[in-house]
A and B are shown apart, each in its own frame.
Chain A
Amino acid sequence: MTRRRFYRFLKYLFLFIAALLSLFPLVWMAVSATNASVDVVTGRLLPGKHLIENYRKLSQQANVKLAMVNSFRNSIVATFASLVVCSIAGYGFEIYHDKGKDFLMRLLLLSMMIPFAAIMIPLFMMVGKFGLLNTTTAFVLPTISTAFLIFLFRQSARYFPSEIIEAARLEGMSELGIFFGMYVPIMRSTYATAGIITFMNAWNNYLWPLIIMQSKDSIVMPILISNLIAGYVTDYGVVMLGVTLSVLPTIIIFLLLQNSFAEGILSSMK
């Protein structure tokens, strides 16, 4: 019995240490955002009073407001465009499927094995050729359509009852009307899942904007925080405030919609 108790104790100890190690960097980040750099390097782990001071310094070094606005605009446009284009396609591939469309779907799935690093140079050249450098359009265009999302919506359309479609057709609804009027409202949870994943990917995208967003006006949050550490002297309070601001939106989404988030991750194995 005592041995079993000991194992139980070990189990909880292990889990608590794991949870602590998992949370600590984030807690440290948030706490350090409110402290002066001197306090951060001397190991202060309590919230301080330098938050406003840090924000003032951060604003002097970088245009946080602009980066936030740009990041939100790019991510929202990317998410909206992506959901519309991919869900219509996913629905089309399932509801009207025939040999030709099934073949095309299999072909599109092959795009999932193309790593971004392999195509970034041609993409950059394309964007440059069309004069789209530093634009939201350039940021969004290559990320709108992904085989993963099309596949996700195709799978969900499989559970869309065909009786509904038949009934709606008899009532004279147009095909596009059925999609927007019947499918979209029923599949809200799929849209939530897909939306979270797409938004987070767009928000966190670093390499693509690093290449194409070269002007000061088009700066986004990942680039901004990456620039903060480029100098010789690092003000930890300021850097951590920048990082905290950049992860805040995704952490809030995560905490509110943890289950949809997990589902989105898991849908890649279905």
Chain B
Amino acid sequence: MGQTLTLRRRQSLIGWLFIVPASVLIFVFYFYPIVRALWLSFQTGVGVNLQYAGLFNYQRLLSDNVFKLSLTNVFIFLIIQVPVMLTLALILASLLNDPTLKFRGFFRTALFLPCATSLVSYAIVFRSLFALDGFVNYLLTALSIIDKPINWGGNPWTARFLIIIALTWRWTGYNMVFYLAGLQNIDTSIYEAALIDGASGVTRFTKITVPLLKPIILLTTIMSTNGTLQLFDETMNLTNGGPANATLSVSQYIYRLSFQYSPRFGYAAAISFVIFILVAILALIQMRVGDTR
């Protein structure tokens, strides 16, 4: 008995040795920095010359119009882009789920391929496609849809439209993969029964596909919301936050405050903590949903 107990303890100890390196790294590079960020958000000053200032940064936040605008921008992207993209992904997934569909593999690969591109690179491709002398303007003028090139990046709403189009291009296939996986778990006999009952394609979609995929739809909604709240690479490279901050994201504002202007780490940390709270709330909802599933 004593022998097995020490053996158990020895194994348990070895187990701890296995998990210590990874755990230490997470504490050092996630938990410590987030606590540090909170502490930083109570300090003001330029660069590393900081002093305690209580809630000053948070008060300043409330009257900062650029911060409010960046938050508004992110929510505009969120409210327009996420529903459009997820609906599109859902429709595409249910069309691709048909085993008799021809060129199924080709469609799947083609729609999924944008996921292989980095955020910076596709942002630059879209920036070039939609440049004043870019291909889209060339095509639209050649087809006489417009008589002079549109300055996509020059007006607040066309610039936002550009971000929304680009995001949709990059992430629709990504979400489609989730729905395809979910659809494979749905018993095909449900669809067969619906077919016998004479349910149309649209009815089958709204009455069977959507309700049964609800947990996954919720999951993808949360993931997309999370991603949009942290938007950076695209606004930085596609529109550089312009014109007049109309596409500035919160992350890009934090970046500007910390690394482009004279560094205001304390104030930037206060803003980053606001994002953290928003993301944390989302993650908690996600875990709740994950538990009940």
The answer for the CA separation of A146 and B30 in the assembled complex, in Å, is 9
Q: With A and B bound together, what is the CA distance between A147 and B127 in angstroms?
A: 35
Interface, chain A (partner B; CB < 8 A) = 7, 11-12, 14-15, 18-19, 21-23, 25-26, 28-29, 32, 40-43, 85-86, 88-89, 91-93, 95-98, 101, 104, 108, 111-126, 141-142, 144-147, 150, 175-176, 179, 200, 203-204, 206-207, 210-211, 222, 225-226, 228-229, 234, 236, 239-240, 243, 246-247, 250-251, 253-255, 258, 261-262, 265-266, 268-269
A115: which of B106, B115, B230 is its contact (CB, 8 Å)? B230
Nearest-neighbor residue (CB-CB) of A147 within chain B: B26
Whether the Cβ atoms of A91 and B18 lie closer than 8 Å is yes
If over half of B's interface residues share one DSSP class (helix, strand or loop), that class is named, otherwise mixed; here it is: helix
List B229-271 residues whose CB lies under 8 Å from chain A.
Answer: 229-230, 232-233, 236-237, 250-251, 254-255, 258-259, 265, 268-269
Q: Evaluate whether A150 and B113 lie within 8 angstroms (CB atoms) in the complex, with A28-B129, A269-B216 already known.
A: no
* Cβ-based interface call for B52 (8 A): no
Instruction: Report the number of A-B residue pairs with Cβ-Cβ less than 8 Å.
Output: 263
Contact across chains for B37 and A122 when beta carbons are under 8 A apart: yes
Specify which of B17, B34, B119, B280 is in contact with A204 (CB 8 Å cutoff): B119
Tell me if A's interface is mostly helix, strand, loop or mixed.
helix
A172 to chain B, nearest CB (A): 13
State which of B25, B40, B109 has its C-beta within 8 Å of the C-beta of A121: B40
Residues of A within 8 A of B279 (CB): 113-115, 118
Q: B interface, how many residues as a size bin?
A: 35 or more
Complex CA–CA separation, A259 to B181 (angstroms): 12
Partner among A26, A146, A239 whose Cβ is within 8 Å of the Cβ of B128: A239
Nearest-neighbor residue (CB-CB) of A145 within chain B: B25
B15 within 8 A of A: yes
A122–B272 CA distance with the chains assembled, in angstroms: 11
Contact of B113 among A23, A113, A119, A210 (CB under 8 A): A23
Contact indicator A204/B120 (Cβ below 8 Å): yes
Residues of chain B within 8 A of A116, CB atoms compared? 230
| One of B25, B30, B219 near A114 (C-beta < 8 A) | B30
Query: Which residues of B sit under 8 angstroms from A32, Cβ to Cβ?
Result: 128
B residues less than 8 Å from A97 (CB atoms):
15
A240 & B128 in contact (Cβ 8 Å cutoff):
yes
Which of the residues A7, A15, A22, A91 comes within 8 Å of B173, measured between beta carbons? A22
Residues of B that sit less than 8 Å from A by CB: 11-12, 14-19, 21-23, 25-26, 29-34, 36-37, 40, 48, 88, 92, 95-96, 102-103, 106-107, 109-122, 124-129, 131, 133-135, 138-139, 142, 169, 172-174, 177-178, 181, 201, 216, 219, 223, 226, 229-230, 232-233, 236-237, 250-251, 254-255, 258-259, 265, 268-269, 272-273, 275-276, 279-280, 282-284
